[in-house]
Structure 1
Amino acid sequence: MLMLLGDGDGFGTRWVLDGQEVPPGIAKYLMDAGFIADSGATEFAVRRLTLTDSGYRFRENGVLWWSSLGFLERLRITIFG
């Protein structure tokens, strides 16, 4: 995940994962919960965020949960959230 910094007050800051923007609320939750951590700046002064150990466990649990669902359950979640 990349954090593109905005102004000093945080306005304009964007979080991007594989080219797709991550809603600020989700990004803040992941950071506050300790699932992702700052791993330094890139050569373009963009902050790189990586998964922590608890973040890897959180992701693995999510992948296991998703794979346990049937086709119709996945479709319903994809459409309705």
Structure 2
Amino acid sequence: PRKGEGYECGIPTRGESMAQFKVGYYLFAILFLMFDVECVFLFPWAVRVKELGGAGLVSIAIFFTILVLGLVYAWRKGALEWK
């Protein structure tokens, strides 16, 4: 009897409440958020690139290389394939 009760919000569900999603949707969303957040980290470096000089440019290059390697890894694993 408790399985038919409303969950958290108190509103009873209508129809089938369990919908299955493919894991690929979640993986694609997590990859998007990960690369989006990493691009946000590039903004402060871009604003202060002249003040940071060569050391700042090297750190940006290292960060960007790691970002690209992560993208290549996800691509080779097939995480970006929409099946």
Question: Scaled by the length of structure 2, what TM-score is found?
Answer: 0.28
Greater RCO, 1 or 2 (C-alpha within 8 Å, sep 6+): 2
Larger radius of gyration, structure 1 or 2?
A: 2
Larger relative strand fraction: 1
Question: Scaled by the length of structure 1, what TM-score is found?
Answer: 0.28
